[in-house]
Structure 1
Amino acid sequence: MSVAALLGAISAVGADGRRGGFSRHGFDSADMQLRAWFTEEAARRGLAVETDRNGALWAWWGEPGDDAVVTGSHLDSVPGGGAYDGPLGVAAALVAVDLLRERGFTPNRPLAVTVFPEEEGGRFGLACLGSRLMTGAVDTAAALRLSDPDGVTLADALASAGLDPAHVGRDERALSRIGVFVELHVEQGRGLVDLDAPVGVAHSILAHGRWRLRFTGEGNHAGATLMADRRDPMVPAAGLVLAARRAATAIAGSRATVGRIVPVPGGTNVIPSTVDLWLDARAGDDLRTRAVVAEIEAAARELAADEGCAVTVTEESYGDAVVFDAALREELSGVLGGVPDLPTGAGHDAGILAAHVPTAMLFVRNPTGVSHAPEEFASDADCEAGARALADVLAHLAR
């Protein structure tokens, strides 16, 4: 079966009629359908599927064991995301297994395809949640208290999916099984397009994090409150969006994005009492990322004071810059005939695992350069080229 056929089989799951694209979030209805689809496809290939204590799926070729060659990605999306971010890596991994079997290959090391849950953080707000829990990169009790916009906690969602929240947390057994992890992903940018290459190897991931800023003012009537009498938290929140743009522009290679604003109570004719705003900030290293955030935080305090409001800043997640294992990177590039070596501004489960096991990433060309949006794309030919490249890499590592 082709990568395109596998992706086509799930093209209606989680389709978002309002935003466009797909909204598939950890342990929601769409995600559970995708988990069932993966389990079925793995079973068709004779792969034995198990679910670990943090909800990751593992499909084993042969007996599970230590020093395994592991590949895979995630199936969840951002709200209104594209069709390739995550599912491409899973579908390509299944096709790579098919290709290896067609070649008559038998792995000499354990080999597994894995699916990590809630990589995008679209439901509970913490990116790479499954891999962070596995590695102990997040406090377990705090993670279980995370809630979605409807007030459902992660603990509740896990229980509804048949998982025991009491078993969630750092999983030494699962980590010890991974000898090397290779994640294939659609490129989130235009590097391969400009280099006219269908496949590349990841070099590094920018330092990045998420912060919540809460501006607190005085809720009041939109018609009865004079402009001079207002303490409107939407005013500093609006100014903060522009301040973030200025701060990131001033520091080379950095990015700052406000992608979500939630006013309370949220009425058209109501001055809000609070406005929550989420900031995503990234740069090439910890020093520059922290500098951008410090500049934005200073601007937030000044903007709030000017309007007679207060502001609190809470760091919700952070990851330092990741440079993938150089020897492994060069080895895989050599296996693939010297493909390009590219940095990325996007976070991935491979980046979380990199602090614990050798990891690498393969990118598949995205001609639009757009990701986290419906316009995200990869041609069928490039998707198949990615699966062949992944098969070559797995054969080399598991030989």
Structure 2
Amino acid sequence: MNTSSHPESIKVSKIYIVLYVLFSTGFLFCQEYKTNNKVYIPKGLVIKKKQTAKKCIEKLTKNTILKQEEVKNSDGKTYTVIKLDTVQKDTMIAFDRAHILSIKDFSGWVNIKSDANDKSKLNINPLLGIKQKIDSGTIVNRISQIITCKGDYERTSKKDTLEQDEYYNYKRINKEDFIFSKSDWYTSSKNIIEVYKDQNIDHYLINNFDQNADFYIKLDNRSYLNLKEESIVFGPIIIPFKYRFGHTKNGVDISADFSADFNAGLFGGKSWGRYRVKYESDELKKLSNLSLTVGIFLSLSATTFDEDSTTSAKVPLTEDESETRASLSPGIGIMTSIYNFNFGLFGGFEVGFGSIAEKWDYNKRPWIGFGVGYNISNTFFK
């Protein structure tokens, strides 16, 4: 008979479960780390593209006041030095001029980060597209565009035949999607390659990342943003509840076992969720997480081998024999986070250390685990 069938064990397990649920602050990760985090921008969301035209000539009339600012650092402090000058006569000066274009038809994966100075602004970095190959001998027309001081584009093109294969991390647009070529995104792209086949355009390759421009989303007061998000997550994990299946071993029927143990380990996987923020009263608030994570884990726990847990062994342990050893559990897990609630379901198999582990009824046997947690440290807004 297993220790889980003893009234005393059942009572202790129930106390352990109640205490864990009451004081759990998130069983999934003690500390979650993310990498390769990306957000999907759908069509219809307005993206701002800021480009700067260089050396734009502007006439300054006599007595015009110029304010010049210079940022300086001293002893860990930052100072802004302001100088005022008065134009003595009509003067022509070359300034850089910024142009902001609203793009309504951009879509794709980006990195996103809140601006340090403007809380209503989310800076985005479009990810490079899938590498596209153009075969040697193909006719191409390379188009380059530079913004002018007036805000329109100066276009240059060069048509030639490739002498070797070439590769580009550009987005491919088929010729039949010609309407796309009239979009804001196409007309403002820095580089466009027209790829020919049989003397006719077959498709376009478009550079969706202009290194000389700034891309961002501008939020109005009380506006809300809800976007698809993906990332790779990893970190320490605790699986509090474990159910071992009943089975037959060496002709002995082993009953199922439910336990509340401290199973700590490492978890890594892919997460699908929502990037949810709200801008209000000059503050950007990140809303509580909604996500689903699937991955693998490796956990370690302490297991006691005794008379009740070695009943299937050829030579079971006696009543006076007992030994505690570590056991290792690899497996897979599915976790979800809904607002501040965490839920997880895990499956694996347990391998005990040492020769005595071969006597254990559940050695190298599958189990399932689960947990429920609540992040008491967070309000609705994280």
Asked if these proteins are the same fold (TM beyond 0.5), I'd say no
Q: Which has the higher strand share?
A: 2
Structure with the higher fraction of residues in helix conformation: 1
The structure whose RCO (Cα within 8 Å, separation 6+) is larger is: 1
Larger Cα Rg: Structure 1 or Structure 2?
2
User: Shorter-chain-normalised TM-score: which range?
Assistant: under 0.3
- Scaled by the length of structure 1, the TM-score of the pair is 0.18
